[in-house]
A and B are shown apart, each in its own frame.
Chain A
Amino acid sequence: MLNIVWPIFIILSFSYAIFFGDINLLNSEIFKSTEDAINLSINLLGTICLWNGIMQVASKTSVIDKLTGFLKPIIRYLFPELRTKPKIQKEISMNMIANILGLGNAATPLGLKAMKSMQEENPQKDRLTDSMAMFIVINTASIQIIPTTVIAIRNSLGSENPTAIVFPVWIATICAAICGIIAVKILIKVTQNDK
């Protein structure tokens, strides 16, 4: 994707600056930007390493496993097809918990495992089942307790209160997830017959 977006940005802005804009400003901005990227990365290092370390501790304990219990009623509502498949339910809830805790590295392999298990039960191998569709959209909704990366960025830019966004993020992410789930439920109904 960036192979398309990046050259478009460069061509648009550089040619616009040469013909209409301020070429000196562009020059100083180029060097300032590289410097900013380095500064941001250095500042990100602290927060990201700290959080990654804490989450490594979490993944060594049984905390993910324990938390999956809370999701049971939600899973039953979201994936009616899988009522008789406790193993897949477990894989799905482990992926969701890992996402909620912000364990990106653990969440993806768990999610792909769940996808493969669902594919085994899929009667039509080239088409997503209802459960798969629901599962993917939930994964794109980014339900996360602590938005670590943004907090790290805010911190690096000298925010007075980097974590002030946590509660607003919860509200936005929950609204987004609910709408995503409703949209999938509608799409499942609409596309039921066009196999």
Chain B
Amino acid sequence: MKLVNFISNLAMPLIILIIVIYGLKEKKNVFDDFLDGAKEGLGIVINILPTLIGLFVAIGALRSSGILDLIINILNPLLSIVKFPTELMPLAMLRPISGSSSIAIATDIMRNYGTDTPLGMMASVIMGSTETTLYTIAVYTSCVKIKKTRYILLAALTADIVGIITSIIVCQFFV
């Protein structure tokens, strides 16, 4: 447990250290390059801001109106058989479809249940270990104009489901 935490916390500083040393070794203007990239980051955040506002309002409304609880209550008996936490169902369903709405839902979950609680951890790990599958498939197949995709959606969604289930199991061990 302590080791896991140590590895988790070591990863980011270690990568930054290696990259900076590597940049120096190859005689690059490390700080200028850093500034270029950081400026680009500004654009990324500004670009997603309007999307986030729209989605936060929609998801906040889903929860405060009580309809989310209604849906969760309906699904509850079904999901409790497989021991799937019902609160994570909206996230699991939207994750492959839309990147920004899953960010909004995951944030909503973490805000309501806490970031370091089992539910908050599960939502975080699901977000970190899966991708906006539908979008990726669309981009990669349309660039070569291919229509016959041989059911790769099925394979990709299998991977997503396994990723989500593993996230839930792993968090039960580590939290």
Interface centre among A63, A128, A140, A191 (most CB of B within 10 A): A140
Q: How far is the CA of A48 from the CA of B103 in the complex (A)?
A: 14
**B60 with A32: CB separation less than 8 A:** yes
Q: How far is the CA of A6 from the CA of B104 in the complex (A)?
A: 12
The answer to whether residues A37 and B152 also contact, given A57-B37, A153-B103 and a CB cut-off of 8 A, is no
* Chain B, residue nearest A24 (CB): B64
- For A26, list chain B residues within 8 Å (CB): 61, 64-65
**A176 with B130: CB separation less than 8 A:** yes
**B34 with A161: CB separation less than 8 A:** no
The answer to whether residues A172 and B170 also contact, given A2-B98, A56-B37, A57-B20 and a CB cut-off of 8 A, is yes
Q: Which chain B residues numbered 1 to 41 have a C-beta less than 8 Å away from chain A?
A: 4-5, 7-9, 11-12, 15-16, 19-20, 22-23, 26, 28, 30, 33-41
* Cross-chain pair count, CB within 8 angstroms: 356
**B65 with A14: CB separation less than 8 A:** yes
The answer to whether residues A63 and B140 also contact, given A13-B65, A33-B56, A165-B121 and a CB cut-off of 8 A, is no
**B146 with A191: CB separation less than 8 A:** no
**B174 with A168: CB separation less than 8 A:** yes
**B163 with A176: CB separation less than 8 A:** yes
**A6 with B55: CB separation less than 8 A:** yes
Interface centre among A127, A144, A150 (most CB of B within 10 A): A150
Q: Which chain A residues numbered 1 to 51 have a C-beta less than 8 Å away from chain B?
A: 1-2, 5-6, 9-10, 12-14, 16-17, 20-22, 25-26, 28-30, 32-34, 36-38, 40-41, 44-45, 48-51
**A159 with B64: CB separation less than 8 A:** no
Does chain A have a CB within 8 A of B155? yes
Set A20, A56, A133, A166: member contacting B7, Cβ < 8 A: A166
**B19 with A58: CB separation less than 8 A:** yes
Count contacts on B: residues with CB < 8 A to the other chain: 104
- For B120, list chain A residues within 8 Å (CB): 154, 159
Does chain A have a CB within 8 A of B48? yes
**A136 with B129: CB separation less than 8 A:** no
B170 to chain A, nearest CB (A): 4
Q: How far is the CA of A55 from the CA of B94 in the complex (A)?
A: 28
**A172 with B163: CB separation less than 8 A:** yes
Does chain B have a CB within 8 A of A78? no
A195 to chain B, nearest CB (A): 8
Chain B residues in the interface with A (C-beta under 8 A): 4-5, 7-9, 11-12, 15-16, 19-20, 22-23, 26, 28, 30, 33-42, 44-46, 48-49, 51-68, 70, 94, 97-98, 100-101, 103-104, 106-107, 110-111, 115-116, 120-121, 124-131, 133-137, 139-141, 143-152, 154-156, 158-160, 162-163, 166-167, 170-171, 174
19 A-B pairs within 8 Å (CB atoms) are namely A1-B135, A5-B97, A9-B58, A13-B61, A21-B66, A34-B56, A38-B49, A48-B45, A57-B23, A116-B144, A122-B144, A136-B152, A137-B155, A139-B140, A165-B8, A166-B8, A171-B170, A180-B162, A183-B158
